[in-house]
Structure 1
Amino acid sequence: MSELVITRQRDSYFEIILNRPDKRNAINLEMLHAFDAAVAQANRAPGLRAVLISGAGESFSAGIDVSALLGLAQTYGPHWQQRMRAITDEFQGVFTRLERLELPTIALLHGHCLGLALELALACDLRVAAAGTALGLPETLLGIIPDVGGTTRLTRLVGPARSKELIFTGRRIDAADAERWGMVNYVTTREELSGKGEALAAEIAQAAPLAVGMAKRVIDGLADIDRGLLLEGWAQSQLFASEDFLEGAQAFMTRRPPQFKGK
């Protein structure tokens, strides 16, 4: 297992820790693949009743490492923009496998939980945030949309109006507003964050595991996630070929306001 992701089993729960603290746990392709392997490891481990996901250092995660976006040509070849549907499928598959674990999953958020990191958290069953945590989906400020389940899962969780507000503006909200909107289940202090997650896991462990797993499948089955992911992939394949995306990415890297033209 890559040291970019740390795993350990403690009693009846399994911990997955994002471990790139010097980069605020920004997610590059290597970390994404290591996270996918950690989810598979949790799925195979015996005797588990819950999975806790957290981040080392000062943030849960600042989201995707933007240099990874700009390096897509190196990973997927010079015609990567024509392969965006397949690339999006690969990213989506990681969080879909997380979501489809029969084990309950609890994301423990602190510091920053932005973009791809929030999409990861939305693929979990429960979310606990430390007070002051910044949450958001800033993709439209780069000329793209949240395409790794963020648009679909946020809408399922908080409804169309709140999802449109957060995604259209790219705004960050704090943990208190996220709790009020229904994005997180609890807000606690940074010091009590792990303890609250463990207490939730212990409470879940008192219920029958087969019943919990089936309840999760039924609840998740009420929303057409697969169709939403397909729509996200279709939209993103158009946006990555736009001039606005190139402008947004360049503006982000040079720390200047983007000048979007709708092209």
Structure 2
Amino acid sequence: MTILNHTSSIVDSNGIARLEQEASTAASVKVLEVSISLEAPLSEIVSKLSDLPSVVADSAIDRVVLIRLSGATERASPGARTTQEVNHWERAVRRLERLQAATVVDLAGHCGGAALDLILACDYRVATADFMLGLPIRDGRFWPGMTLYRLVQQIGLAATRRLLFAHDVLSVEQCTRIGLVDSAAGWQPGLISAIRRGATTDLSVRRRLLAEALSTSYEDALGTHLAACDRELRRTSEASDDRH
């Protein structure tokens, strides 16, 4: 697949496009854009997410993936009908969560169904003023998938417990207040350069350190953090030697 200019609207049959955004430093930042319709069959969304690791590995991008969600949906949960489909879905979301690239999700309009799982699996979330999040409530009950696990990890137990009794839909203001949305100003091309700074080759290490902080004691975490610092010091030292 080819690198496209950010203003181009051409995508391939899978809704995947290469974008090239000029950064303020005059160096180009190459981004992989993925379009996901929440109205598509769950198997189609799973297939697209499952392909992402190999697409990222084969692409000349700067470890930044932009996921655009579209399509208002009345689907209250991801849409799985069997336990096997639930398992396939959770595996696909986990692949996205562990992708070797910084992931940004762009949210607009009414998003429901699989939206919350995808939001929680991404590193950075931007939304427009008209964004509304449909919670995964099925037959009057909050969907008991790994959504709950990620919610507790990311916004806390108390906030998650309140969601169990919340209305079916959250506004962009509510999402921002509890930490589900990072920016309510919509997608801005200027964000690419800032996000690329966090898209290091060892991004997965930093993700793991953040996640383990919730369940690991200081003493147990110290060794892992020291090892990460040692790798970073060696990397910067080698980079300095190369420049000289």
TM-score by length of 1: 0.64
2:94 maps to what in 1? Answer: 96
**Which of 140, 145, 153 does residue 156 from structure 1 map onto?**
153
Matched, 1:62 2:73: yes
- Cα deviation, 1:98-130, whole Å, max 9, x if unaligned, reads 000121101100112223211111111111111
SS at 2:184 equivalent:
strand
Q: 1:65 to 1:144 in 2, by over 3 A?
A: closer
Q: 1:177 to 1:65 in 2, by over 3 A?
A: closer
Tell me the number of residue pairs that the alignment of Structure 1 and Structure 2 aligns: 196
Bigger Rg, structure 1 or 2: 2
2:34 maps to what in 1? Answer: 16
Structure 2 CA distance for aligned equivalents of residues 52 and 170 of structure 1: 29
CA contact (8 A) 1:63 1:117 kept: no
CA contact (8 A) 1:52 1:105 kept: yes
Q: Quote how far apart the aligned CAs of 1:140 are.
A: 4.6
Percent of residue pairs identical: 24
Q: Quote how far apart the aligned CAs of 1:165 are.
A: 1.6
Structure 1 CA distance for aligned equivalents of residues 14 and 164 of structure 2: 28
TM-score by length of 2: 0.68
**Which of 37, 40, 52 does residue 39 from structure 1 map onto?**
52
Structure 1 CA distance for aligned equivalents of residues 36 and 111 of structure 2: 12
SS at 2:137 equivalent:
helix
Higher strand share: 2
CA contact (8 A) 2:112 2:135 kept: yes
SS at 2:43 equivalent:
helix
**Which of 172, 175, 179 does residue 175 from structure 1 map onto?**
172
Structure 2 CA distance for aligned equivalents of residues 55 and 165 of structure 1: 25
CA contact (8 A) 2:69 2:111 kept: no
1:119 maps to what in 2? Answer: 117
2:226 maps to what in 1? Answer: none
Matches for 1:248-259 after TM superposition, within 5 Å: none
1:259 maps to what in 2? Answer: none
- The residue type paired with residue 214 of structure 1 is V
1:214 maps to what in 2? Answer: 205
Q: Quote how far apart the aligned CAs of 1:164 are.
A: 1.5
CA contact (8 A) 1:109 1:133 kept: yes
Higher RCO (CA < 8 A, seq sep 6+): 1
